[in-house]
């Protein structure tokens, strides 16, 4: 792959975006299916390059959790290809007329959905993001500039080369996907300040990466993915619903952003509920960290510190607090949450409605697991991430959330008085 400087990449992306914004859905879908075929055909090469990344990572002492994220297999490459096919199957959001009205002076105004333009993605060691992020951005008519983790450089280069080959064959400008082929950390910093060419940056990875992008980027950023998610067991909870929901949200997959990290239990149910919960969590190997009231009822619970309540464990650990009423529970959640996903377990309609209204988060649940915060579970299809900010998009970000709009105004000579 040709090595080019970031300024040139920015310029090329900004040029190709004018082509992409006019590309018909049929053409985009054809290119996505072709890219899926090409990835499958290039499996051997991609695995070879991934093998080199893995060997270097092991030499550098990367721990096994991380190498697992870095590792590609035939099945994982097949899943990447299948992801692109699914995106080809989704509707094209570009061009939709979102609103249409006529003014008294005869001006005809339409609000039309358009691509964002150029999207920068900064991500960590999963090479599958290369294909997934490209697929979504491309279908929504955007050019992407990708900056993956340095551990995965050769894998990302191989995936990018494969996709570019497919685009070229479909007569789509391959600069629709560009990868910063550098392990230089400076390159990421420069991408974060490439305002002239890049319309939005989406970091995908851990809390540290996201913080660094938010702090250093002058390009608008969409924050995704940190989830300190709570479940509140109300005094009117059906405890037979509460237990399986908590177990599901905590343990069905511990390393994900919509997993439950903290419980709030109403005082009135603590005696009935906490011992039973403790038995089930113990069986599931989940460590409990609670306040004084929790520890009085659960012998082997550890002490929850202020820091615990603010922590997204992504592990078999759960912090627990007892609250005197729903107001205290909501205040606690609004203080410590990351605005991702929060749930109340209650049979009381009034309390449910109050929780839905007052808790500040992208997704607020009544009597269901927080694990449903997901593009597929919402029926949106693949997503680029879960936005935890309030600007532009909140919650699962699918194709629509990768677009903007423009107003078109048609007249016949109107001037302003």
What's the closest the beta carbon of residue 40 comes to its own copies, in angstroms?
28
Please identify, using beta-carbon distances, which residue of 67 and 367 lies nearer to its own copies. Answer: 367
What's the closest the beta carbon of residue 103 comes to its own copies, in angstroms?
6
Question: What is the number of alpha carbons within 13 Å of residue 372 lying toward its C-beta?
Answer: 14
What's the closest the beta carbon of residue 378 comes to its own copies, in angstroms?
6
What's the closest the beta carbon of residue 210 comes to its own copies, in angstroms?
12
Residue 125, Cα to own-chain centre: how many angstroms?
Answer: 15
Please identify, using beta-carbon distances, which residue of 96 and 238 lies nearer to its own copies. Answer: 238
What's the closest the beta carbon of residue 405 comes to its own copies, in angstroms?
6
- CB atoms inside a 10 Å sphere around CB 324: 11
- Give the span between the Cα atoms of 130 and 67, in whole angstroms: 17
Q: CA-based diameter of the chain, in Å?
A: 80
Tell me the chain's radius of gyration from C-alpha atoms: 24
- Give the span between the Cα atoms of 78 and 74, in whole angstroms: 6
Please identify, using beta-carbon distances, which residue of 66 and 256 lies nearer to its own copies. Answer: 256
What's the closest the beta carbon of residue 298 comes to its own copies, in angstroms?
23
What's the closest the beta carbon of residue 218 comes to its own copies, in angstroms?
5
Please identify, using beta-carbon distances, which residue of 350 and 410 lies nearer to its own copies. Answer: 410
What's the closest the beta carbon of residue 359 comes to its own copies, in angstroms?
9
Please identify, using beta-carbon distances, which residue of 189 and 367 lies nearer to its own copies. Answer: 367
Question: For the chain, what's the residue count?
Answer: 417
Please identify, using beta-carbon distances, which residue of 43 and 228 lies nearer to its own copies. Answer: 228
Which residues contact its own copies (rule: CB under 8 A)? 18, 21-22, 101, 103, 107, 109, 116-117, 195, 199-200, 214-215, 218, 220-222, 238, 241, 244-245, 247-249, 252, 334, 352, 356-358, 360-369, 371-372, 377-379, 389-392, 394-395, 404-416
Query: Please, which contacts does 248-255 make with residues 24 or more away whose CB atoms are closer than 8 Å?
Result: 248/369, 248/371, 249/343, 249/369, 249/370, 249/371, 250/281, 250/284, 250/286, 250/318, 251/284, 251/286, 251/316, 252/369, 252/371, 253/371, 254/313, 254/314, 254/315, 254/316, 255/314, 255/315
Please identify, using beta-carbon distances, which residue of 39 and 384 lies nearer to its own copies. Answer: 384
Residue carrying the six token digits 């109403």: 266
Please identify, using beta-carbon distances, which residue of 79 and 378 lies nearer to its own copies. Answer: 378
3-class SS at 25? helix
Please identify, using beta-carbon distances, which residue of 293 and 341 lies nearer to its own copies. Answer: 341
Query: Please, which contacts does 295-300 make with residues 24 or more away whose CB atoms are closer than 8 Å?
Result: 297/270, 297/271, 298/274
Q: Please give the full DSSP string across 192-237, using - where no structure is assigned.
A: TT-TTT-SEEEEES-HHHHHHHHHH--S-B--B----EEEEE-TT-
What's the closest the beta carbon of residue 396 comes to its own copies, in angstroms?
8
């Amino acid at each position: 792959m040709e090595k080019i400087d970031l300024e040139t990449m920015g310029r090329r992306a900004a040029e190709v975006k004018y082509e992409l914004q006019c590309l018909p859905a049929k053409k985009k879908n054809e290119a996505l299916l072709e890219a899926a075929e090409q990835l499958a055909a290039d499996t051997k090469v991609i695995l070879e390059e991934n093998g080199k990344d893995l060997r270097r990572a092991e030499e550098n002492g990367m721990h096994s959790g991380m190498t697992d994220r870095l590792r590609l297999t035939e099945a994982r490459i097949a899943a990447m290809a299948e992801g692109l096919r699914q995106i080809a199957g989704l509707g094209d959001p570009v061009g939709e007329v979102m609103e249409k009205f006529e003014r008294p002076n005869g001006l005809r105004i339409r609000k039309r959905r358009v691509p964002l333009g150029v999207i920068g993605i900064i991500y960590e060691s999963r090479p599958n993001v290369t294909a997934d992020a490209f697929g979504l951005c491309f279908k929504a008519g955007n050019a992407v500039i990708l900056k993956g983790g340095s551990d995965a450089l050769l894998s990302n280069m191989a995936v990018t080369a494969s996709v570019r080959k497919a685009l070229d064959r479909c007569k789509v400008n391959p600069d629709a996907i560009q990868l910063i082929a550098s392990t230089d950390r400076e390159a990421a910093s420069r991408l974060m300040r490439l305002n002239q060419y890049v319309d939005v940056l989406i970091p995908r990875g851990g809390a540290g990466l996201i913080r660094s992008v938010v702090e250093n980027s002058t390009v608008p950023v969409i924050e995704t993915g940190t989830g300190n998610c709570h479940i509140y067991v109300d005094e009117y909870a059906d405890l037979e619903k509460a237990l399986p929901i908590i177990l599901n949200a905590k343990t069905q997959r511990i390393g994900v952003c919509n997993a439950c990290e903290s419980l709030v239990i109403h005082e009135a149910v603590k005696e009935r509920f906490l011992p039973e919960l403790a038995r089930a969590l113990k069986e599931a190997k989940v460590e409990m960290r609670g306040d004084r009231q929790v520890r009085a009822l659960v012998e082997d619970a550890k002490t929850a510190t202020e820091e615990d309540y603010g922590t997204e464990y992504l592990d078999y650990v759960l912090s627990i607090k007892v609250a005197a009423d729903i107001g205290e529970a909501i205040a606690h959640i609004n203080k410590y949450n990351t605005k991702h996903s929060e749930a109340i377990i209650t049979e009381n309609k009034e309390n449910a409605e109050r929780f839905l209204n007052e808790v500040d988060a992208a997704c607020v649940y009544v009597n269901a697991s927080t694990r449903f915060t997901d593009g597929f579970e919402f029926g949106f299809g693949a997503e680029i991430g879960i936005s935890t900010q309030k600007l532009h998009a909140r919650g699962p970000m699918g194709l629509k959330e990768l677009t903007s709009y423009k107003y078109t105004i048609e007249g016949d000579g109107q001037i302003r008085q």
